[in-house]
Structure 1
Amino acid sequence: MRALIRTPFGFASTAAEVAAGIDLTGRRAVVTGASSGIGVETARALAGTGAEVTLAVRDTAAGERVAKDITGSTGNRALRVARLDLTDPASVAEFTAAWQGPLHVLVNNAGVMACPEQHTPQGRELQFATNHLGHFALATGLHTALAADGAARIVVVSSTGHQSSPVVFDDVDFAFRAYDPWLAYGQSKTANVLFAVEATRRWADDGITANALMPGAIYTNLQRHTGGKGSGKVPAELIKTTEQGAATSVLLATSPLLEGIGGRYFVDCNETETVDRRSGTLGGVARYALDPDNARRLWALSEKLLAGAA
């Protein structure tokens, strides 16, 4: 049994602390959902390393404001803003078709949480479509660019919420089950981890690695459907700032300790243990989320669903 990956960083580490001393000058990164929340601080920390950072956002005006702010705080003028709507296959295709040259880091950060039942025009349940399927289309569409880098990294923002549900392959869109916002969220977050497992296996010869993470409990716009700051669902001592919440994403994107490492799941900047029952904490990764057979099955299903949307 292999040892879990341990780093000098932890719960209270910030994105800037994790990125300190890292030089990504000449490298390029994409961060989805970078106009708010931890996406902003992820992009800021990557910009601080000298990388060219593209903010892939639905609201380009908000993205431009963030880009200006990041340039002001880091001095890095290589900030780009591009429109991306993960629920719209045409938008994802437009983004990937417009990309030219290699890509070193792709941070699949955007997401929705526990929203009321909604389906895309293609019939996909919204959380699965946004959190997994849109990012799957994005990553596969950028595969050539990632492979061109030779040592590219994909960072997938998942959640301890994945412990609420495996991927229910026969009913990902809740066509037969009664819709439950947390089960739908959990399914989509499990899909995030499984994507990292299979992308690492499938793209190993291209030098591409993918890891998933739990950023921690952070009050952002993500909680707009769940009661937000006053809900009391998480003890105050476990709440992170956005700068702390972005730290694990930035670690996976930049740390030399993760060179060549993929298919893992991290919490508080360290690889977490595999569990067979709900952990009752914000740590732990469900065994079903790391299962290679599940990962291959999800990849095949995702390709099928996207082909049907074309």
Structure 2
Amino acid sequence: MDNHARFTTPYGFESTSTEIVDGVDLTGKRAVITGGASGIGAETARALAAAGAEVTLAVRNADAGRQVAERITAQTGNTGVAAAALELTDRRSVTEFVGRWQGPLHILVNNAGIMALPELHRTAEGWELQFATNHLGHFDLALGLHRALAEAGGARVVAVSSNGHRTSPIVFDDIHFERRAYEPWLAYGQSKTANVLFAVEAAKRWAGDGITANALMPGGIRTNLQRHQLENITPEIQEIFDNYPWKTMEQGAATSVLLAASPLVEGVTGRYFEDCNEAELTTDPGPETGVRPHALDVGDAARLWDVSIALLR
């Protein structure tokens, strides 16, 4: 963790994706957004397309992705919006997606994710599903697209994390809950910490390729991500949901769009943003804002990279 000055912008909690790209020209830039068929992924795609970027929605459901791509084209007039199949927990699917990609890639937004699955689920490899989806699949994808990112010159990688990272560091001795009891929010938190640590290490390893990498907390947006919490909701949880400072979809996508497209953050790398500004470092376990030291730990970032490489071999 370096002691750089905190990076701030004129934007904040209420800023929207449309405001961020106002006056930004992404003509000639190519972007991939995972989970681009719904939620803030779709809104991030719309904003980048509105600024002129060629956008590929990397999605589990290609038909749903195509419908969103057509809607974005209708909204923006940008015909360079398409969908492509990608299942992050299937290494063959990631390999096939990478194999189909040709030419430079200027923007990679690792946006897809799952949250707080109430029961333990594993992939075919035995990996805990949230860690596999939120981190390992995106890690595999980014490594596969590294050459395309380097070819672009000045490429940006954006990792959508969460304030949920505060609930857990990487538990290297038992990442996949093989010896400890499964707890949904610890599993989610660990996977979101991994997203930040990936950006920290990618920023260092890929700096020579002109690639920047940053992570972010989008804020609370009512999307399909909360579906597991809403299935068996208690009065206490309902009250929390009713009083949470929710953002609109455009506000929720703003920080992703800032890191993907804004000239204000040119050259900024290895950091964690919230509400369109770099988050403050805090060790206070209470607040939902700020970034916890374990998510920026350079030793853990390097170790996670090596562990992830070993798992994917």
Letter in 1 for 2:249: T
**How far is 1:242 from its partner?**
1.1
Q: How big is the shift at 1:232? A: 3.2
Which amino acid in the other structure matches residue 296 of structure 2? L
Code of the aligned partner of 2:312: L
Distance 2:129 2:239 in 1: 26
1:280 aligns with 2:287: yes
Q: Which residues of structure 2 form unaligned runs of 5+?
A: none
How far apart are 1:237 and its partner, in Å? 5.7
1:231 — aligned with what? 238
CA distance in 2, matches of 1:268, 1:147: 28
2:211 maps to 208
Instruction: Determine which of 243, 256, 275 is the counterpart of 1:249.
Output: 256
1:43 Cα deviation after fit: 0.2
Tell me the CA shift for residue 277 of structure 1: 2.8
Residue deviations 1:142-174 (CA, integer Å, cap 9, x gap): 000000011000000000000000000111100
Q: Secondary structure at the match of 2:203?
A: helix
TM-score by length of 1: 0.96
The answer to whether the Cα contact below 8 Å between 1:217 and 1:234 also exists between their aligned partners in 2 is no
Aligned partner of 2:268 in structure 1 is 261
**Is 1:25 matched up with 2:31?**
no
Q: 1 CA distance for matches of 2:85 and 2:178?
A: 30
Superposition deviation, residue 278 in structure 1: 1.7
Identity of aligned residues (%): 62
2:142 pairs with one of 132, 136, 139: 139
Counterpart of 2:69 (choices 48, 51, 67) is: 67
1:295 matched residue in structure 2: 301
Q: Please report the RMSD computed on the Cα atoms of aligned residues, expressed in angstroms.
A: 1.2
**Normalising to structure 2: TM-score of the pair?**
0.96
Unaligned 5+ residue runs, structure 1?
A: none
Please tell me the residue identity of whatever aligns with 1:262.
T
Q: Deviation string for 1:184-219 (max 9, x for gaps)?
A: 000000000000000000000000010000000011
- Residue 120 of structure 1 is matched in structure 2 by 123
Count residues with an aligned counterpart: 306
Give the secondary-structure state (helix, strand or coil) at the position aligned to 1:63: helix
Tell me the residue number matched to 2:4. Answer: 2
Name the amino acid aligned to 1:259. E
CA displacement, residues 8-34 of structure 1 (integer Å, 9 cap, x when unaligned): 111111111111111010110000000
Instruction: Report the counterpart of residue 270 of structure 1 in structure 2.
Output: 277
Q: Following TM superposition, where does structure 1 have runs of at least 4 consecutive aligned residues deviating by more than 3 angstroms?
A: 234-237
Q: CA deviation at 1:135?
A: 0.1
Aligned partner letter, 2:311: L
